[in-house]
């Protein structure tokens, strides 16, 4: 396990990618192990299974954004404890989905506070009630509705809510000094997104939510994405945010013009491609098409 972990870490450096070749790198990433690395300053990322995590470690304490699943959260906590004996001050959830909040429970008794958008908390409670998994949740004790700010040591962390998108409770979490932003699932980088209409998602609003992000953050911002088609591209820059915005615009335009042209639901949902979109991959193109159709028809 230790050796595999070392290999994966080593493989993530550019030189090693060339050394090992693309195929063996992919097979190594299939191992049940994780990415844990610093992005800038005291802020880094963790990815194993589920939505990518961002973390901060400084002289005063530790903050974590999202929690994957219980086992993965335990791996992350172990890594962070190697870096620091300071208290876990905050766990912040970008939104309620299980691949971002199931691991909250691993922070029970470890973290001082858990925060999320108010809609994220109500969605989490509704999901847990439906799945009868209330006892497996660690719920946020702190909620906000638009903008919310905290300080951990010398780092300022701000949550921004710009409206519905992937759900009705998605926040961007900005580590301001490091200028690193966790986008949650508002960005599926080059991968067909999941659109949770049962939790208030909106394809149209998703576009304006991303537009607000392009105005709030800048060309030097490092972004951490909830998901990516390529596991090495769960982080990126403003161009990737704009690419996601272009994807959502193209999706909405295609479905809207198809409905107006009198195409059937089956024809629209069964489309194998979206005009103007070349980089998006993976399964589930129908998820966005279905959601957009239901929203626009
Ligand atoms: Zn997710
Ligand atoms: Zn999600």
Report the separation in Å between the CA atom of 99 and the middle of ligand 1, taken as the mean of its atom positions: 5
CA of 269 to the centre of ligand 1 (A): 22
Mean pLDDT, residues 142-157: 98
Q: What does DSSP say about strands 222-224 and 180-182: parallel, antiparallel, or unpaired?
A: parallel
Taking phi first (over 0 means left), then psi (-120 to 50 degrees means alpha), and beta for anything else, what does residue 131 get?
alpha
**Nearest ligand for residue 52 CA:** 1
Mean pLDDT of 155-172: 98
Nearest to 171 by CA among 193, 190, 147: 147
Ligand nearest to the CA of 225: 1
Which ligand approaches the C-alpha of residue 167 most closely?
A: 2
Q: What is the pLDDT of residue 187?
A: 98
Centroid of ligand 1 to alpha carbon of 68 (angstroms): 8
Q: What does the alpha-carbon distance between residue 128 and residue 248 come to, in Å, rounded to a whole number? A: 29
Is it the case that residue 12 has pLDDT exceeding 70? no
pTM for this entry: 0.90
Q: Which ligand is in closest contact with the Cα of 170?
A: 2
d(CA 76, CA 34): 9
Mean pLDDT of 4-29: 45
The dihedral over CA atoms of 68, 71, 74, 79, expressed in degrees to the nearest 10, equals: -80
Helix (H) or strand (E) holding 16: helix 14-29
Compute, in angstroms, the gap from residue 297 CA to the centroid of ligand 1: 26
Measured over all CA atoms, what is the biggest interatomic distance in the chain, rounded to whole angstroms? 62
Question: Using one digit for the tens of pLDDT, what is the confidence trace for 210-248?
Answer: 999 999 999 999 999 999 999 999 999 999 999 999 999
Ligand 2 center–CA 75 separation, angstroms: 21
- Contacts within 8 Å (CB) and 24+ apart, 9-15: 9/35, 9/36, 9/37, 12/37, 12/232
Rounded to the nearest whole angstrom, what is the distance from the C-alpha of residue 187 to the centroid of ligand 2? 10
pLDDT (0 to 100) of residue 33: 87
Give me the helix-helix angle, 238-260 and 203-216, nearest 10°: 150
Q: Distance, CA 132 to ligand 2 centroid (Å)?
A: 19
Ligand 2 centroid, distance to 103 Cα (angstroms): 14
Percent of the chain with pLDDT over 70: 89
Q: How close is the Cα of 235 to the center of ligand 1, in Å?
A: 14
Q: Say how many Å lie between the CA of residue 113 and the centre of ligand 1.
A: 22
- The pLDDT tens digits of the residues spanning 115-131 come to 999 999 999 999 999 99
What single string gives the DSSP state of each residue in 53-85?
EEEEE-SS-EEEE---SHHHHHHHHHHHHHH--
Query: Measured in angstroms, how far is the CA atom of residue 97 from the centroid of ligand 2?
Result: 5
pLDDT over 50 at 208, yes or no: yes
Do 260 and 297 meet the contact criterion of CB atoms below 8 Å apart?
no
Mean pLDDT of the chain: 92
Structure tokens at 43: 């802020």
**21: pLDDT confidence band, cut at 50, 70 and 90?**
very low
Ligand nearest to the CA of 201: 2
Is there a contact between 166 and 195 (Cβ–Cβ < 8 Å)? yes
C-alpha triplet 220, 204, 99: angle, nearest 5°: 65
User: Rounded to the nearest whole angstrom, what is the distance from the C-alpha of residue 115 to the centroid of ligand 1?
Assistant: 17
Query: What is the Å distance from ligand 2's center to 98 Cα?
Result: 8
What pLDDT sits at residue 27? 52
């Amino acid at each position: 396990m230790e050796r595999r972990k070392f290999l994966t870490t080593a493989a993530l450096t550019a030189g090693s990618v060339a050394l090992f070749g693309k195929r063996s790198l992919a097979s190594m990433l299939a191992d049940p192990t994780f990415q844990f690395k610093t992005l800038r300053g005291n802020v880094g990322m963790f990815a194993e299974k589920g939505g990518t995590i961002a973390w901060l470690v400084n002289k005063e304490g530790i903050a974590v954004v999202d929690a994957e699943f219980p086992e993965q959260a335990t791996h992350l906590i172990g890594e962070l404890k190697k870096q620091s004996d300071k208290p876990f001050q905050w766990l912040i959830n970008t939104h309620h989905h299980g691949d971002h909040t199931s691991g909250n429970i691993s922070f029970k008794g470890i973290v001082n506070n858990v925060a999320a958008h108010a809609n994220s908390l109500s969605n989490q409670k509704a999901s847990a009630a439906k799945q009868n998994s209330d006892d497996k949740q660690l719920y946020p004790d702190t909620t906000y509705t638009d903008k919310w700010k905290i300080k951990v040591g010398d780092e300022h962390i701000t949550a921004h809510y710009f409206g519905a998108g992937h759900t009705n409770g998605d926040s961007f979490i900005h580590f301001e000094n490091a200028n690193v932003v966790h986008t949650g699932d508002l960005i599926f980088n080059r991968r067909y997104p999941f659109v949770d209409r049962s939790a208030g998602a909106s394809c149209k609003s998703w576009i304006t939510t991303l537009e607000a992000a392009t105005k709030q953050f800048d060309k030097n911002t490092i972004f951490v994405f909830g998901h990516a088609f390529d596991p090495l591209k769960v982080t990126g820059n403003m161009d990737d945010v704009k690419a996601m915005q272009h994807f959502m615009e193209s999706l909405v335009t295609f479905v809207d013009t198809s409905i107006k042209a009198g195409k059937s639901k089956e024809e629209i949902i069964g489309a194998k491609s979206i005009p103007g979109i070349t980089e998006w991959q993976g399964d589930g193109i129908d998820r966005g098409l279905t959601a957009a159709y239901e929203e626009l028809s």
